[in-house]
Amino acid sequence: MRVGQIIRTVGRRLWFFLAILGPGLITASADNDAAGIATYSLAGSTYGYQFLWLIVAVTFGEVVVQEMAARMGVITGKGTADLIRERFGVRVTAFAMLCLLVANLGTTVAQFAGVAAAGELFGVSRYITVPLAALLVGVVVLRGTYRIVEKALLVLCAASLSYVVSAFMVRPPWGEVLRQAVTPSLRMDTTFILAVLATIGTTMTPWGIVYMQASVADKGVSTEEYGRVRLDVITGAVWGNIVSAFIIICTAATLFVHGIAVSTAEQAAVALEPLAGVWARELFAVGLLGASLLAASVLPLSTTYAVCEAFGWERGLNRSGREAPIFYGLYTGMIGLSVLVVLIPGIPLFPIMWLPQVLNAILLPVVLVLVLRLINNPRVMGTRTNSRLQNVLAWALTVMISLITLILFISPLLPKI
């Protein structure tokens, strides 16, 4: 009898964990989307192992930031945009939502660029794959079948694990890898700073904060159950960044050592040759396609929900187009504009996969400042405000990103001084 009770108790707890497991894992998987793969490949192939310290630092930052978002979702039962409107008024809300919309539009463009790049690796024109992908994403999301398709997309995203295997097969200098992981480095040149900001912006995003809080709030998780949510957040952030680190290690060990700085998807696929051989292009394309479709499904919808929530507009897939015209208009507009950008004749795909992440990083402090003010307000969080350590880490992260952004703008002047 006791054994049966133990099995049932363990089963219930495991079932609950699997039920809540999602926001952390999905956000982490979306970090390694088209933009993430492009950014990490660029960093590894151009600068070797120098960005590994940044991945370590960003991992701690992502855990802190995503935990705050999840905790606010549990305690308040509301989304980020809703709380910003309640506490800061319409003007601040409008500015924050504009930042979110601009950053997320750029990232959505990057996802469809990823679809185009994956299709071209299979020999299919972007003028076929991108419109089909937009149609697929729209049908899946608007008809409410996304949760089913989400599992299949997560399986495709698992192709990114091939970087881990490929890195071990190529046998990088692990002593150097570990040294670079704990040794910060920064150069005062524009290209390097852009790569730093892109790496930060593809790992910690404004949309990730909004998505995390909204997902947890929608699940209606109680404060007693929050420990499991916190575990999901930490697990997702750490696991996602382990994969990110191995993308850098793999591209550094296979491309950087031969002086190949990635500028196309075909070059990036070379990093998987130690594992996949002649099938490296296909393996890379499958992973890129799955990650791009996953993020393209989540990102425009979460953005539309947040903007409509902020201003009290009708929203939700259970509403008709006549009942929620702004909701459907924003969603359709984000996807349509992204498709049009990617289909511009001659536009290079790889740069538009990683450059929007720079914008993500530049705009991230705006959201972080608002989140920090909210989570340290006892009227909002009661007794569950940040600890001193959490505040130190979160503010240090915000200041660090702001300083790097400042360096980006003054770096062209430095040689002249």
Which of the 8 DSSP states describes residue 257? G
Decide: 172 and 249 in contact? Cβ < 8 Å: yes
Give the C-alpha separation, 107 to 109, whole Å.
5
pLDDT of 1 over the 60 cut: no
Q: What is the pLDDT of residues 140-187, one digit of tens each?
A: 887 765 566 666 666 666 677 788 888 899 899 999 999 999 999 888
Contact 75, 386 (CB under 8 A): no
pLDDT in tens, 44-53: 999 999 999 9
* Poorest-pLDDT segment among 106-110, 271-275, 316-320, 332-336: 316-320
**Poorest-confidence range of 193-202, 225-234, 261-270, 322-331?**
225-234
Instruction: Give domain limits for the chain.
Output: 23-416
- 401: confidence class by pLDDT, cuts 50, 70, 90: very high
Quick one: average pLDDT of 114-141? 93
Give the pLDDT score at 30: 60
pLDDT digits (tens, 9 = 90+) for 57-74: 999 999 999 999 999 999
Q: Are 300 and 104 in contact (CB under 8 A)?
A: yes
DSSP E strands: which ranges in 357-402?
Answer: none
Label residues 291-310 b or e (16+ Cβ within 10 Å = b).
Answer: bbbbbbbbbbbbbbbbbbbb
Residue 145 has what pLDDT?
A: 59
- d(CA 208, CA 95) in angstroms, rounded, equals 18
pLDDT of residue 382: 93
Backbone dihedral region for residue 357 (phi beyond 0: left; psi -120 to 50: alpha; all else: beta): alpha
The top-level CATH class assigned to 23-416 is mainly alpha
For residue 117, give the nearest of 38, 14, 46, 57 by alpha carbon: 38
Residue 189 has pLDDT above 60, yes or no: yes
> pLDDT tens for residues 94-123?
999 999 999 999 999 999 999 999 999 999
Convert 73-124 into a string of H (helix), E (strand) and C (coil): HHHHCCCHHHHHHHHHHHHHHHHHHHHHHHHHHHHHHHHHHHHHHHHHHCCC
Range 289-298 average pLDDT: 85
Q: Phi-psi category of 312—alpha, beta or left, where left has phi over 0 and alpha has psi -120 to 50?
A: left
Average pLDDT, the chain: 86
